[in-house]
Amino acid sequence: MSKKVLVIMGGFSSEREVSLVSGRGIVEALRSEGYTVFEHDLTDAAELVETIKREKIDVVFNALHGNWGEDGEIQGLLDMLQIPYTHSGLKASAVGMDKHLTKLVCESINIKTPCGEKKTYGQFCNEGTKVVMPYVIKPVCDGSSVGVYIIRKNDDLKQVSFDDDVEILIEKYIEGQELTVAVLKDKALTVTEMRPRQGFYDYNAKYSDGVTEHIIPAQIPQKAFDEALLSAEKLHKTLGCKTVSRCDFRYNAQDGVVLLEINTAPGMTPLSLVPEQYKYCGGTYSELCKILVEDAACRKI
């Protein structure tokens, strides 16, 4: 009898629409692999619990993106329900979603990150920053480059908008090539360069077809290529990530390889980078989805 898999998608975050695209692709892929698949747009936690009980679900495939899906919230609920789920557990998810905590972990294992500081947006408006322009402003906890601003001159600050109590990072802007590395079962796959046709690799560039060119493998010096692979593996293992993660970097000759963030539940849309790297290494999208299901687990009581 095939496993019953519940694919949860949608959710409450700013990345809801991307999550729905990921979820639909995953549903189709898992059905092609012979699983009994249910899909669930998560808008009510009590309804999710009821669905899991009613359908006697064996595994939850977490296709949520952003807050509630990647930050440990859904992981904690599924741990309590003792339902195996895909991707990382509560601790790795919570730390990975918090860009400031991730920076502190990186410092402890000698992975370079941009210099910067954390403040609330209200503090930033009142006190300014010690970071010299150009710099980047981004929320401490969000994904897919949502709410990221590049500040090159004072006029650029007019576009920045957060609630006063939102925690933000102000970091040195690292010029250079935008890179990403997927790690699958503790092994880095390859390095991809994302080359936006205009601007930077923001939300639109990530999820709009034809806006960004993906160069795989990335055209960078071998030493930098190897460092990106090693850094992604090291952070994946240090955080205790499960099955798959993706690390994003910037590279230039002066700064070297600089980590921007880790994604503990990376996107699974047709344009997403982890499926692309897995395909480059000889696999298929449906095989990748199957690996995630078969490796699913929850915290043991």
Residue positions annotated with a catalytic role: 15, 144, 207, 246, 248, 261, 263, 267
CA atoms within 13 A on the CB side of 12: 10
Rg of the chain in Å (alpha carbons): 19
- Cα–Cα dist 97/83, whole Å: 22
Pairing assessment for the beta strands 116-120 and 167-172 based on DSSP bridges: antiparallel
What string of DSSP letters covers 14-51? TTHHHHHHHHHHHHHHHHHTT-EEEEEE-S-HHHHHHH
Q: Which residue has the tokens 């941009």?
A: 114
DSSP class of residue 64 equals -
> Quick check: 188 and 258 in contact, CB under 8 A?
no
Q: How many CB atoms lie within 10 A of CB 16?
A: 18
Q: Are 171 and 136 in contact (CB under 8 A)?
A: yes
